[in-house]
Structure 1
Amino acid sequence: MSRGKLVRWGVPMAAVAVIGAAIGAGPVIAAVSGDPVLPERSAQQLLAEAAAAVQKDGLPPMSGTVLETASLGLPALPQTASAGSPIALLSGSHEAKVWYGSRDQFRLAVPGPMNETNVIVNGDQTWVWDSQSNTATRVKIAPGAEKTHTAAPTGPSMTPQQAAEQLLSKVGEHSVVSVTSNTQVAGRPAYELVLAPKEAGSLVQDVRLALDGETYVPLRVQVYAKGSAEPAFEVGFTQVTFSAPAPENFAFTPPAGAKVEEKTLGFSKDEEKHDFAEGEVKTVGAGWTTVAVLPTPKTPAAPAQGRSEGQGQGQEAAAALDTVLRSATPVSGAWGSGKLIRTKLVSALFTDDGRLLVGAVTPEELTKAAGAK
């Protein structure tokens, strides 16, 4: 959805997805004990049935509580980050409330110790409410922005079975795929699709995706690091209900005395080119050992007076980066020199010639990529 651009503006929902897909470590979300009774399914059968369910009914109305946990084994990060910021999500446990009625009715609430951030989509109205700053922001989409993401070229329609076969053929190039049918998440029987890398250079042992046994909605994602008996990262429902949320969950009026702002989201072609003007991201390797190579992020300058939300998040990121770099290990080789950081699931190499290499790979894979032409 084009409203997904809202996430790029600062809503923490994307941070959960992007950070959660690659890094972290933390406690396991407790599943209800007992063996649920579900028919056995192969990976192909499971994916085909899930695709058929989505094609027929789409995502069903639902509401629930999601818990994300992360502990990277990094030095203590600055405590200035707000509860919903990407920096805060790099460590500890974080809870969010979710309500979904339809494509045009959605709400995400991220509570903090002394504040709460809400994203509310209701028809053509999109609001972001930040109780800490007492600010309600109405979000609009720039003219033409709805068309910035064009659909893929159309071709012969695929059946769910064909879609499952195509997905598994691609995944199978780099992964061993299996399914278990005795999992429970948030009290619901679920299938668990397990993807294990074939490449020895990956830090990932496996990724486990739990799908609800009735609706096939993803309920939990767990990432296990090699040599670990517990998930290194986990995000999933601790409570979920598949029924239509009450309409008042999507109603929002700025409270009396709140500061009301407007933001317009959407980028022109010139703005998109400017975003990538400082250097293009490239990748080295394939599958689970893919390494991203990009320009080293620059530290934002401090504003003369006050700070905007974007500046605040940029400064939080810069402070966290500075803390991490102080604990990095100096390394060198035929490729040059730099500083290396390794967590359970991610390695990062900051080279002295201005590159950042990052991936869920061993340091050896990073230095190999650093020397690639």
Structure 2
Amino acid sequence: MAANTKTSRKAARYAVPVAVAGVAAATVAMVPAFANAGNPDLPKVTAQQLIEKVAASETEQLSGTAKISTDLGLPKLATGLLGGGGVAGGSADPQDKIAQLANGTHTFRVAADGPDRQKLTFLDGKDEYTLVHNGADVWGYDSKSNEAFHEKEPQGADKGREHKTGDRVGSPQQLAQDIIKQAGPTTDISVGDTAQVAGRNAYQLVLKPKQSGSTVGSVQIAVDAENGVPLRVQLLSSQGGKPIVDAGFTQVSFAKPAADTFTFTPPKGAKVTEGSDAKGKGQGHDKEFKALESFPGFDALTGGAGDKGEVTPLGEGWATVARIDTGAGKNLKELENDKDAPKEAKQFLNSLGEKVTGKFGEGRILSTRLVNALITDDGKVYVGAVTKDQLVKTADAAK
């Protein structure tokens, strides 16, 4: 949500919800799992022992089929913008596919051979979207549009740096370890019931917020009882119902994939876009603001936020809320009363949901099952994986 990348990263360090919210988008670029029926009888383990088992896992080779189902409870208009169908069609840039994967159910094939070679193929009927990481090269290919995206890591690039392109095809181990690492003292960690996942016996590591006010009920990570590989990640709502995110293997093998699995050559006639070219097309703003600015009538609301945005973390742990000062040129009330504003902008404004008031002033709340955002009339945004009541309470306390 921030327009200042450095400040955004600083804010992220304060909150488990940042990692958990990442499950809704980041797991789409990971390799987690679905459970089968049955609870195997396994030796008892403590949560600490299970965490150590995940951390000590050296399994880096696998292949199989997985599914991800995401139900964020987005407004109907926002769901339409994301696209409830498949990921094929349009740009082949991997970043452009993430939002589409944050809605609905998707099936994909996966293969991995260490940290430098991974392949994901998202299936959408007869159309496919393929993402390949092979050494310094990352390829994305959309069969429907016959477009390819290519990005090459600079020679000698820092393998540990944040947000490198190769991380888009990261491992399930990394996802689980990131969540566990950021859990901290505000999280209760325990071992739940055993399970069978893709025919393999698994323990379940359960992370629950100790604090009230979070939209997250728990995060459940199914861990292979034999090799410690996380096989499934489920994000459950504090309000109950089906999981917000349920991602995981339906079939898995830990044999070494064939070397040519990770070889990719663009098909004849495919349009190829280099990563450096894509970065030159309007990526001066953070993509969070870019999405809002690109919507008719909202460019004035963000004030061309770009680098003006300033993020302040409020609270801690699962109850963390980020306050974003957008530097807006026009507030919500002005937009609502603007007769010349595009009808699409007003439709989106109405989809934001209920109007709220408090010590912070007036605003509207965009509500989903995971993240709630309060957009105030004075150009501030409060956002977090917290309930609407908790969000308003935090905004009031910040005045």
Structure-2-length-normalised TM-score: 0.68
Correspondence for 1:361 = 386
**1:200 Cα shift?**
1.4
Per-residue CA deviations over 1:258-286 (Å, capped at 9, x if unaligned) read 2233223999xxx9997562212221111
Task: Name the CA shift for 1:67/1:324 in 2 (closer, same or farther; >3 Å).
Answer: farther
RMSD across aligned C-alpha pairs, in angstroms? 3.6
* Offset, 1:66: 2.1
Matched, 1:193 2:205: yes
Following superposition, the deviation at residue 197 of structure 1 comes to 1.2
Report the equivalent of 2:313: 283
Give the structure 2 partner of residue 20 of structure 1: 24
- SS of residue matched to 1:146: coil
Q: Distance in 2 between matches of 1:204 and 1:273?
A: 33
Q: In structure 1, how many angstroms separate the alpha carbons of the residues matched to 2:369 and 2:49?
A: 33
Other-structure match for 2:274: 262
In structure 1, what residue type is equivalent to 2:38? G
Q: Which runs of 5+ in 2 are unaligned?
A: 1-18, 28-32, 88-96, 163-178, 287-305, 329-343
Partner of 2:174: none
Pairwise CA distance, 1:148: 8.2
Distance change >3 Å, CA 245–CA 295, structure 1 → 2: farther
> Structure 1 residue aligned with 2:353, among 311, 328, 342?
328
Are 1:71 and 2:71 counterparts?
Answer: yes
Divergent runs of 4+, >6 A: 167-170, 271-274
Q: What code does the residue aligned with 2:136 have?
A: D
Residue 308 of structure 2 aligns to a residue whose secondary structure is coil
Q: Deviations over 1:176-223 (max 9, x none)?
A: 221035211111111111111111111222111111111211111112
Structure 2 SS opposite 1:46 = helix
- 1:237 deviation in Å? 1.4
Structure 2 CA distance, aligned partners of 1:293 and 1:126? Answer: 34
**Counterpart contact for 1:136–1:254, Cα < 8 Å:** yes
Q: Does 1:238 align with 2:250?
A: yes
For residue 185 of structure 2, give the secondary structure of its aligned residue in structure 1.
coil
Instruction: Within 5 Å, give how 1:302-317 maps onto structure 2.
Output: none
CA contact (8 A) 2:34 2:66 kept: no
In the alignment, structure 1 residue 350 sits paired with structure 2 residue 375: yes
Distance 1:42 1:181, change over 3 A: same
Partner of 1:210: 222
Contact 2:216 2:235 in 1 (8 A): yes
1:303-333 deviations in Å (ceiling 9; x for gaps): xxxxxxxxxxxxxxxx799647525111111
Which stretch of structure 1 is more off in the superposition, 71-80 or 243-252?
71-80
Aligned length: 312
Please, which runs of 5 or more residues in structure 1 have no aligned partner?
Answer: 1-14, 24-28, 151-166, 299-318
Deviations 1:308-367 (A, max 9, x none): xxxxxxxxxxx7996475251111111111111223332211111222211121222212
Structure 2 distance, partners of 1:20, 1:335, is 29
Distance 2:44 2:310 in 1: 46
> In structure 2, do the counterparts of structure 1 residues 114 and 49 end up closer, same or farther at CA, with 3 Å as the change threshold?
closer
CA contact (8 A) 1:232 1:344 kept: yes
Confirm or deny: 8 A CA contact 1:87 1:320 kept in the other structure. no
Aligned match of 2:10: none
Give distance in 1, aligned partners of 2:181 and 2:81.
Answer: 45
Instruction: Say if 1:22 and 1:346, in contact at 8 Å, map to a contact too.
Output: no
Shift of 1:125: 3.2
